Amino acid sequence: MRPNIASLSVLCCLPMTLLAQSARQEKTISLPARASVEAVSVSQTGNLIAAICSDHVVRVWSVSSGEPVRSLEEKNESPNAAQFSTDGRLLAVAYQIVQYEKGAIRVFDVDLWKEQYDLAAPFSMYALAFSPGKRRLAFSHLNTEIWDFGSGKNLTDISPPFGGSAAMSFSPDGKWVATADGDGFVRVYDANTGTLRGTPTEFLLEPLAVAFSPDGKTVLAGGADKVISIINPESGKVVRVFPRQSGLVSSLDVSANGKQAAVVYRSAESFVEANHVILWDLAKGTVLADFQKLGIVIVGGTFVSDHYVFVTASGNQLTLWSIP
Amino acid sequence: MLTRRDVLQKCVALGSVVIASQFSPEAMLAAFQDREKQVRQPTPPNELGPFYKRLTPVNNMLRAPGDPGMPLTLFGQVFDTRGDIVPGATIEIWQTNHHGHYDLNGYRYRGKLNVDKSGAYSFESVVPGHYPDRICQHTHYLVMAPGHRTLVTQLYFATDPVFEGDPTKNYARDPLLQTPELIRPVMLTGDPNEVHAKVQFELCLGRL
């Protein structure tokens, strides 16, 4: 691992960032003045990042060059979520159409930058998730809807009693979808029918992150309870709990080989403060890497082959990091 | 105290309501009352936020003796969109303490109650502090009743400095606040040595 100037300069003044050596700063991208980034999706193929910007523009950059690839801008529409498909070929963007108080989800082919689908949607989206093989798209507002691209139909509408779903994850075969719901439960549904599979898993505070393991045998979930639970998706029972976490579990990603999980944490005292990521060894329950840096916000990340790539924002600057 | 019907009958007697119909005044007044009830709008929803906690115990006394902050009574009634009382409704509230901190480890400043037959509720709390990520002071509400849509909303305080005394004009300073309807006036009672705030927040549930 090579040290970098940014982490060394922080090292001098903040002892708590000693562990920042675990992440490598790869690239810095500057946005136009006065624009900031609200959320980012990183393509799992590692070639593109797409950012929802405060000036209502979706900006897409090449990861390798840091150069802009595309800007998506619709008059009178405000993007609020974006997600690449697992193969990186599609980009779904949720828009708020303020004038009509309704929403739309547009799905773009990122090779041709051609709009493939335009789906009617509620005004405000919390989360988007593609199934592997990009056959389906789940989107969450107060309900969670599953759209099937093959049939062009909304397969099912799975609604928690209240509060919507903060995160969703499809099983590797696309048959099941797990949701982290505002009412304090993690639920696993049949993605075709919306039938609840097994018993919902109980948390006390809201689960904010959920991820199927690559073999589909377990679901990882975490949230405001500051725990990471490994759940049997058939029974809903928690089979293992990680040691109490230092912050609210904001996002969870599992590596393709199923051996590692990258966890982004938020602060309970200030929910927007997401500046801490830990790479866990799932078998041993030990920390492989730990990165924390004051003054930045982690706005997105994903595993690209065997390393975790994440993006931080500070003002109008984006920084791309990787944990080998 | 005059009932609504008494008031309407007085209006007819004084000529402020003129009934020009083949139906009796009683029938027309009853229909008028029914129509009035129908126009009640559901309380606007608002974000759940990330700090809702399951299994909140039944308790309407959220503040403990000696807690910092201005004592606050939150009270009101639960109606449906026809204006009928909703008995059997359950209300949960949660908020920060005076210093703007949510209790994630326990259930401080979290309460739950079942409304009585009159649809009335009240909680004893303190005026919440400012949570660092939010512009406005607020109290979260979750209201559930059989046969009605679950309401997730937040109550805001007209005395919040961010509104500069004019919530109708300045409500949009908090991007989560889409309407001034959720901002309620604050009544101050007691004496200068022991000021107590009271906020009335009527809740209206949509019917299933």
What are B45-68's pLDDT values in tens digits?
999 999 999 999 999 999 999 999
Q: Which of A162, A205, A269 sits opposite B150 (nearest CB)?
A: A162
Over residues A273-296, the pLDDT tens digits come to 999 999 999 999 999 999 999 999
The least confident of A35-39, B21-25, B56-60, B158-162 is B21-25
In three-state secondary structure terms, B38 is: helix
- The CA-atom distances, in angstroms, between A317 and each of A38, A297, B18 are 12, 11, 68
Instruction: Give mean pLDDT, residues B92-111.
Output: 97
Q: Strand, coil or helix: what is B111?
A: strand
Query: What is d(CA A117, CA A139) in angstroms, rounded to the nearest whole number?
Result: 14
Query: Using the beta-carbon criterion (under 8 Å), do A162 and B142 form an inter-chain contact?
Result: yes
pLDDT at A281: 93
Largest CA distance in chain A: 57
Q: Of A124, A141, A206, which to mutate for an interface test with B (greatest number of B Cβ within 10 Å)?
A: A206
The reported pLDDT for the residue numbered B38 is 60
Give the span between the Cα atoms of A205 and A197, in whole angstroms.
22
Q: Where are the alpha helices (DSSP H) in B15-152?
A: 25-38
Hey, is A234 helix, strand or coil?
coil
Q: Measured between alpha carbons, how far is A253 from A255 in angstroms, rounded to an integer?
A: 7
Of the partner residues A182, A248, A270, the one whose CB lies closest to the CB of residue B48: A182
Distance CA B55, CA B45 (A): 22
Q: Å from B196 to nearest chain A CA?
A: 27
User: Helix, strand or coil for residue A149?
Assistant: coil
Best residue in A204, A226, A264, A273 for a mutation probing chain B (most B CBs within 10 Å): A204
Which residue, chain included where needed, has tokens 């005004």?
A: A123
With tokens 């230092």, the residue in question is A246
A143 and B CB contact within 8 Å: no
Q: Does A8 touch chain B (CB under 8 A)?
A: no
**For residue A139, what is the domain's CATH number?**
2.130.10.10
The C-alpha of A251 sits at a distance from chain B's nearest C-alpha, in angstroms, of: 13
* Greater pLDDT, A265 or A198: A265
In a domain, A300, yes or no: no
Q: Domain limits at A124? A: 19-33+75-290
Q: A124 and A81 in contact (C-beta within 8 Å)?
A: no
Testing the interface with A: which of B43, B46, B47, B54 to mutate, by most A Cβ within 10 A? B54
| pLDDT recorded at residue B25 | 77
Q: Cα(B18)–Cα(B9) distance, rounded to whole angstroms?
A: 11
Output the CA torsion sign for B134, A75, A84, A107: positive
Contact A91, A53 (CB under 8 A): no
pLDDT at B19: 76
Exposed (0-12), middle (13-18) or buried (19+): which is A198, by Cβ within 10 Å?
Answer: middle
Predicted local confidence at residue A300, as pLDDT: 96
pLDDT at A324: 85
CA B64-B65-B67 angle, to 5 degrees, is 70
Cross-chain residue pair A224–B133, CB shorter than 8 Å? no
**Which of B52, B133, B150 is nearest residue A271 as measured by Cβ atoms?**
B133
Measured between CA atoms, how close is B47 to chain A, in angstroms? 8
Contacts of B9 (CB under 8 A, 6+ apart): B25, B29
**Domain presence at residue A299:** no
A98 CB within 8 Å of a chain B CB:
no
Residue A5 has pLDDT above 50, yes or no: no
Selected residue with higher pLDDT from A215 and A122: A215
DSSP A62-106: ETTT--EEEEE--TTEEEEEEEE-TTSSEEEEEEEEGGGTEEEEE
Q: Is residue A69 part of a domain?
A: no
What is the pLDDT, as a whole number, of residue A21? 52
Could you give phi then psi for residue A205, rounded to 5 degrees?
A: -95, 175
In a domain, A51, yes or no: no
**Residue A226 is assigned to a structural domain of this protein:** yes
Cβ atoms of residues A224 and A260 within 8 Å: no
The yes-or-no verdict on residue A6 having pLDDT over 50 is no
Quote the tokens at residue B152.
């997730």
Q: Where would I find the H helices in chain B?
A: 4-14, 25-38, 167-170
Task: Establish if A273 belongs to a structural domain.
Answer: yes
Residues of B with CB under 8 A from a CB of A: 48, 50-55, 101-102, 104, 132-133, 142, 144, 150, 152
Task: Say yes or no: A244 contacts chain B, CB-CB below 8 A.
Answer: no
Query: What is the ipTM for the molecules in this complex?
Result: 0.87
CB pairs under 8 A between A and B: 51
Give the mean pLDDT of chain B: 91
Chain A positions touching B55 (Cβ under 8 A) are: 204
Q: Tell me if B73 sits within 8 A of B197, measured CB to CB.
A: yes
State the Cα–Cα distance between residues A290 and A321, nearest whole angstrom. 12
Mean pLDDT of A166-185: 96
* Nearest chain B residue to A162, by CA: B150
Across the interface, of A166, A204, A268, the residue whose CB is closest to B53 is A204
SS3 assignment, position A43: coil
| Cβ of residue A223 closer than 8 Å to a chain B Cβ | yes
CB contact under 8 A, B50 and A163: no
Residue B162 DSSP one-character state: G
Q: How are beta strands B203-205 and B71-80 bridged, if at all? A: parallel
Report if residue A176 sits inside a domain.
Answer: yes
Please report the pLDDT score of residue B35 as a whole number. 66
Inspect the interface and report whether the beta carbons of A224 and B50 lie closer than 8 Å.
Answer: yes
- Domain membership of residue A218 (yes or no) is yes
The alpha carbon dihedral of A96, B137, A225, B71 has a sign of negative
Shortest distance between the Cα of B56 and any Cα of chain A, in A, equals: 9
Which residue, B104, B47, B45, B43, is CA-closest to A182? B47
* Mean pLDDT of the region A151-160: 89
Which tokens in the block code for residue B134? 């939010």
Taking only the tens place, the pLDDT of each residue in B151-185 is: 999 999 999 999 999 999 999 999 899 899 999 99
User: DSSP letters of A277-293?
Assistant: EEEEETTTTEEEEEEE-
> Distance between CA A140 and CA A31 in Å, rounded?
29
End-to-end CA distance of chain B: 34
> What residue has token string 């065997």?
A306
Instruction: Choose the closest CB to B104 out of A205, A208, A272.
Output: A205
Give the three-state DSSP class for A32: coil
Distance (Å, whole) CA A43 – CA A37: 17
Residue B202 exposure: Cα atoms within 13 Å on the Cβ side: 12
- The enclosing H or E element of A13 equals helix A5-13
- Radius of gyration from C-alpha coordinates of chain B: 20
Among A202, A204, A206, select the one facing B50 at the smallest CB separation. Answer: A206
Question: What residue of B is the nearest CA neighbor of A204?
Answer: B54
> Are residues B51 and A206, on separate chains, in Cβ contact within 8 Å?
yes
Please name the helix (run of DSSP H) or strand (run of DSSP E) that holds residue A11, with its range, or none. Answer: helix A5-13
Q: Three-class SS of residue A173?
A: coil
Cβ contact, residue pair B102, A268, below 8 Å: yes
Helix-then-strand count for chain B, H and E: 3, 10
The residue ranking higher by pLDDT, A100 or A171, is A171
- A54 close to B (CB below 8 A): no
Q: Which of the residues A205, A226, A249, A267 would you substitute to probe the B interface, choosing the one with the greatest number of B C-beta atoms within 10 Å?
A: A205
Chain A residues with CB under 8 Å of B104 CB are: 205, 224-226, 268
What is the total count of domains within chain A? 1
- Closest Cβ–Cβ partner in A162, A226, A271 for B50: A271
